[in-house]
Amino acid sequence: MLHECPGYLVVIRGSMFSGKTEELIRRANRARYADMSVALFKPSKDTRSNSILKSHDGNTIAAVEVSSAEAILDHVLLPFTGVEFVGIEEAQFFDEDIVSVCEDLVANGIYTVVAGLNLDFRGEPFGHMPELLARADEVVSLTAICIVEGCRNVATRTQRIVNGIPAFYEDPIIMIGAQESYEPRCRDHHEVPHREFTLESETH
């Protein structure tokens, strides 16, 4: 049964360390202050913390881990639970159903807030974030500050470092078991070398 009030879709985008999770938590807490029923979800492949969302500044909030986007509807609409606010973390990791799931939530009058990386470590569109951004009623674009010494320019890219060097373009989007870290970088300091070019250069 549809709510009398229309739904609303907010998509929060930005690089790592730009405050996406912090903004999602802020909006969820604001909804709770208004006595709205709130439910938060995160993909199970995000193993950094179990059943909580945690921002880089240390704020936390309880969340339900789900293995697929459709599972969100199972928690919220089947049966209908009266949830009025749904927050979804790391949207770029969900399968293609995340788009239709968000549309279903909004169609049922639910205020839906989605947070995710709009660009992968290569600087290319990540997952189904482009379509979510196109369908959003409101887009929140966040940036970080480039971590390269002496730069301090606006960072819109996420730099992946693997074993102390920039990740290669040919590396998989998700690396399991690698000693990797991430840094916010501006466009000029974002490095994505090609593996073949690098190997050829080293042999000459």
Q: To the nearest whole number, what is the mean pLDDT of the chain?
A: 87
Q: Catalytic site residue 138?
A: no
CB 62 within 8 A of CB 28: no
Determine if the peptide bond prior to 172 is cis (ω within 30°). Answer: no
Query: Is CATH 3.30.60.20 the classification given to domain 143-204?
Result: yes
**Residue 203, pLDDT above cutoff 90:** no
Structural domain boundaries in the chain: 1-142, 143-204
1-142 against 143-204: fold identical: no
Concatenated DSSP letters for 4-62?
SS--EEEEEEE-TTSSHHHHHHHHHHHHHHTT--EEEEEETT--SSSSEEE-TTS-EEE
**Above pLDDT 90, what percent of the chain?**
73
CATH of range 1-142; options 3.30.1380.10, 3.40.50.300, 3.40.1160.10, 3.40.50.2300: 3.40.50.300
User: From CA 113, how far away is CA 192, in angstroms rounded?
Assistant: 31
Confidence of residue 195 (pLDDT cuts 50, 70, 90): confident
Confidence band, pLDDT 50/70/90 cuts, at residue 47: low
Q: Does residue 202 register a pLDDT over 80?
A: no
Which residue has tokens 């060097």? 165
More confident residue, 45 or 181: 181
> How many other CB atoms sit within 10 Å of the CB of residue 40?
20
pLDDT of residue 81: 79
Rounded distance, CA 151 to CA 62, Å? 36
For 6-10, 104-108, 157-161, which range has the lowest pLDDT when averaged over its residues?
A: 6-10
pLDDT at 58 over 70: no
User: pLDDT tens digit string along 174-189?
Assistant: 765 456 789 999 999 9
Over residues 20-43, mean pLDDT: 94
With CA atoms as reference, report the closest residue to 40 among 141, 135, 114, 142: 114
Catalytic residue among 22, 84, 89, 90: 90
